[in-house]
Amino acid sequence: MAYVVTRLCVDCVSTECVGACPTDCFYKPADPAAGMPNMLYINPDECISCAACESACPWKAIFEESAVPAVAADDTAWNKYCSTNAAAFVKAEYENKTNPTEEEVEANKVKWGMA
């Protein structure tokens, strides 16, 4: 079962997941104005469920599919959209960004109802 990026990634997009992934299966919307949430997505067809990204994500935004919280259930479909609508995505690239503080991570969870 593939791993899933949830809405905790929205506008955070810190990309440590990209650096950790052995199969290079993280994507971002090809057109930021196309209406998709501004976050990264995992193509479930390319994910080998190694779990490396889960611990690498400083925002704790990644879950194994069966463990995605109910409030973020729609995000599983968004990730699957990567495999069914490949033209809407481009490969995400690693960028060296500043990691959030513990307080910022907790505030982000509260913002999205995932605390």
- Residue 34 or 96 having the CB closest to ligand SF4: 96
Cα–Cα distance between 109 and 7 in angstroms, integer? 9
Q: CB count, 10 Å around CB of 50? A: 12
Contact residues toward ligand SF4 (CB under 6 A) are 3, 5, 9, 12-17, 20-23, 25, 39-40, 42, 47-53, 57, 59, 61-62
What single string gives the DSSP state of each residue in 25-68? -EEEESSGGGSS-SS-EE-TTT-----HHHHH-TT--EEEGGG-
- Residue 47 or 68 having the CB closest to ligand SF4: 47
- Residue 62 or 72 having the CB closest to ligand SF4: 62
The greatest distance separating any two alpha carbons of the chain, rounded to the nearest whole angstrom, comes to 37
CB of residue 69 to ligand SF4, shortest distance in Å: 15
Q: CB count, 10 Å around CB of 60? A: 17
CB of residue 15 to ligand SF4, shortest distance in Å: 5
Q: CB count, 10 Å around CB of 64? A: 13
CB of residue 68 to ligand SF4, shortest distance in Å: 13
- Residue 17 or 72 having the CB closest to ligand SF4: 17
CB of residue 6 to ligand SF4, shortest distance in Å: 8
